[in-house]
Amino acid sequence: MKKFLLLVVASLFVTGAFAQDWSVGARAGSGFQAVGQYSLNQKNYVEARFGLNLVPGAAADLTGLYNWRLVQWDWTPEAGTWFLDAGVGASVGGAKQYAYFGATGMARFGFKFRKVPISLSIDYSPVIGLDFVYGLGGGADYNGTEAGYAPVETRAAANKRTYVGFHEAGLWNSGITFTYTF
């Protein structure tokens, strides 16, 4: 997994070296993600994140967002510009017996340095969607018979259960993002 993430980050850097309006970086918070951003114009940009989500457990995560630059403030003109962005998109992820997908929102507050092409921001990106957990155990092989336990050959079938529910962990998705703009 580490080699794959390194390959993704290196690919973003190489692609950005030959293109304008690209930003690449990293995001840490509910997990660790490589971030790629492409400016469509002065008001809008798209963002892709790929990495490892640690909540509720280690799972691969892919997020795509369409973002709007809402406000820029020149509070510290010598150092840089403060900004507020918002966006919408989708997230999908999963691990061995777990998957989730959902709609994603994003609110970001940050600072873009004037003398170097670096920005630092904090964001809240809730994912509202569904969890899928499959192959769950069925409660110590209990099948509701009078003896309480199924014969050995039916235990495996009784223990393969699927759970579908609200992706509650997605409501706590926040992070700190560092990007370099080409």
Q: Using one digit for the tens of pLDDT, what is the confidence trace for 62-117?
A: 999 999 999 999 999 899 999 999 999 999 998 888 889 999 999 999 999 999 99
Provide mean pLDDT across the span 31-47. Answer: 95
Decide: 98 and 132 in contact? Cβ < 8 Å.
yes
Looking at the structure of the chain, the number of domains it has is 1
**Owner of token pair 């003398």:** 115
For residue 132, what is the domain's CATH number? Answer: 2.40.160
Provide mean pLDDT across the span 29-42. Answer: 93
When pLDDT is cut at 50, 70 and 90, the band that residue 18 belongs to is: low
Domain hosting residue 49, numbered range: 2-181
Note the pTM of the prediction, 2 decimals: 0.73
The verdict on whether omega for the bond into residue 56 sits within 30 degrees of 0, i.e. cis, is yes
